Structure 1
Amino acid sequence: MPRVLVVDDEPQIRTVLRGYLEADGYEVAEVADGAAALAALRADPADLVLLDVMMPGIDGLEVLRQLRTFSDAYVILVTARAEEVDKLIGLAVGADDYITKPFSPREVAARVRAVLRRDRAVRAGDDAPLVFEGLSIDRLGREIGVNGSTVMLSSLEFDLLAALAAAPGRVFSRVQLLEQVWGYEFYGDERVVDVHVRSLRARLGDDAADPHLIATVRGVGYKFIGRPA
Structure 2
Amino acid sequence: MTGETPLVAVIIEDDPGVRSLLDEVFLAAGFRTVLAGSGPDGLAAVAAHHPIITTLDINLPGIDGFEVARRIRRVSDTFIIMLSALAEESDVVLGLTSGADEYLVKPFRPRELRARIEALLRRTRLSAADKGTPAAASAPPPRVTVSTASAASSASLPVITAADATVATWRGLVHRDLSLDLDTRLVLVSQRPVELTPTEFDLLAALLEAGRRVCSKADLARGLRGLSGDAFDRVSEPDKRAIETHMANLRRKLGDNPNSPRYIETVRGVGYRLTSDDRPV
**Cα offset for 1:207?**
1.0
**Cα offset for 1:179?**
1.2
**Cα offset for 1:31?**
0.6
Q: Conserved in 1, the CA contact under 8 Å of 2:212 and 2:274?
A: yes
User: Against the structure 1 CA distance between its residues 87 and 222, is the aligned structure 2 distance closer, same or farther, given a 3 Å change threshold?
Assistant: same
Q: Could you say what secondary structure the match of 2:81 adopts?
A: strand
Q: Conserved in 2, the CA contact under 8 Å of 1:157 and 1:196?
A: yes
1:219 aligns with 2:269: yes
Instruction: Identify the residue that residue 89 of structure 1 maps to in structure 2.
Output: 94
Instruction: Identify the residue that residue 138 of structure 1 maps to in structure 2.
Output: 181
Distance in 1 separating the partners of 2:259 and 2:77 = 28
Matches within 5 A, 1:173-184: 173-184=216-227
Q: Which amino acid aligns with 1:170?
A: R
Deviations 1:28-75 (A, max 9, x none): 111111111112212221111110111122011110111122222111
Count of aligned pairs? 228
Distance in 1 separating the partners of 2:186 and 2:246 = 18
Instruction: Identify the residue that residue 69 of structure 1 maps to in structure 2.
Output: 74
Could you list the runs of 5+ residues in structure 2 that have no partner in the other structure?
A: 1-5, 131-135, 137-169, 228-232
Q: Could you say what secondary structure the match of 1:216 adopts?
A: strand
User: Against the structure 1 CA distance between its residues 132 and 92, is the aligned structure 2 distance closer, same or farther, given a 3 Å change threshold?
Assistant: same
Match of 1:80 among 78, 85, 93: 85
Distance in 2 separating the partners of 1:100 and 1:19 = 18
Matches within 5 A, 1:183-202: 183-184=226-227, 188-202=238-252
Match of 1:153 among 182, 190, 196: 196
Larger Rg: 2
User: Against the structure 1 CA distance between its residues 177 and 76, is the aligned structure 2 distance closer, same or farther, given a 3 Å change threshold?
Assistant: same
**Cα offset for 1:181?**
2.3
Distance in 1 separating the partners of 2:124 and 2:205 = 12
RMSD: 2.0
Instruction: Identify the residue that residue 209 of structure 2 maps to in structure 1.
Output: 166
Q: Conserved in 1, the CA contact under 8 Å of 2:67 and 2:98?
A: no
Q: Conserved in 2, the CA contact under 8 Å of 1:133 and 1:226?
A: no
Match of 2:105 among 88, 100, 106: 100
Match of 1:26 among 31, 36, 52: 31
